[in-house]
Amino acid sequence: MPAQPTGPAGPAAPAEAAGPDPEEGAQDWQLDHSRAPIATKVVVAGGFGVGKTTFVRAVSEITPLQTEALMTRASEDTDDLTATPDKLTTTVAMDFGRLTLDDDLVLYVFGTPGQQRFWFMWDDLVRGAIGAIVMADTRRLTDCFPALDYFESCGLPYIVAVNHFEGTESFEEADVRDALTVPEHVPVVIMDARKRYSVVETLLAMVAHALEASPE
């Protein structure tokens, strides 16, 4: 019987078949256990039907959490569907998604409900947020006034994002700023909530503004 090859600790163990690398496809920061990504919270607010759910859905790298409910005739007297006649559902609690912006920066995006009867949830949703995005529709700019007033009163940095709907008149950022009397230091951007790149640019603008407002 031939002798088995031996190593320093005795007979060598038989070679095992190589399996899949469990760390294949991982990013560098995920393999560096000495640090963890910075997790930040962002709130997306605005009027009813302005595109908050679409915003979160377009950018989230995970399946977004949505609390959509079918609209019924009970809301006919309170929800104005003039600008969004095809809208069949509404957010009754929140939308939630996640986006990795950089190796060490992860955004958790929370969309607020738009109807006034759900505004009581805003205090909980904005707790711990670094900033907010107030979405606006130029056909009904007054719908975003409550969100503007809310973030002004609580001192949370925010930007205004005009969601441009197809078939509507296009306005310049300066025109929207004047119409809303938004302070000069608050960024105003024109975007499309259906397009991921546009939503990412909007989030980057919000993060940059939040860092300027609260550099610590």
Provide the H-helix boundaries in 50-182: 52-59, 122-126, 145-154, 173-180
Model pLDDT, residue 129: 95
Q: How many helices (H) and strands (E) does the chain have?
A: 6, 9
Distance separating alpha carbons of residues 53 and 96, to the nearest angstrom: 9
User: Angle at the Cα of 196 (from 215 to 165), degrees rounded to 5?
Assistant: 105
What pLDDT was estimated at residue 135?
96
What is the C-alpha separation between 210 and 103, in angstroms, rounded? 19
pLDDT of residue 61: 92
pLDDT by residue for the chain (216 residues), tens digit each?
Answer: 555 555 555 555 555 555 556 566 666 655 665 555 688 999 999 988 889 989 999 999 988 776 554 544 544 445 455 555 454 455 545 788 999 987 778 999 998 885 565 566 778 888 999 999 999 999 999 999 999 999 999 999 999 999 988 888 889 999 999 999 999 999 999 999 999 999 999 999 999 999 998 765
The pLDDT of residue 175: 95
Give the per-residue pLDDT at 17. Answer: 53
Residue 105: the pLDDT is: 84
pLDDT at 102: 75
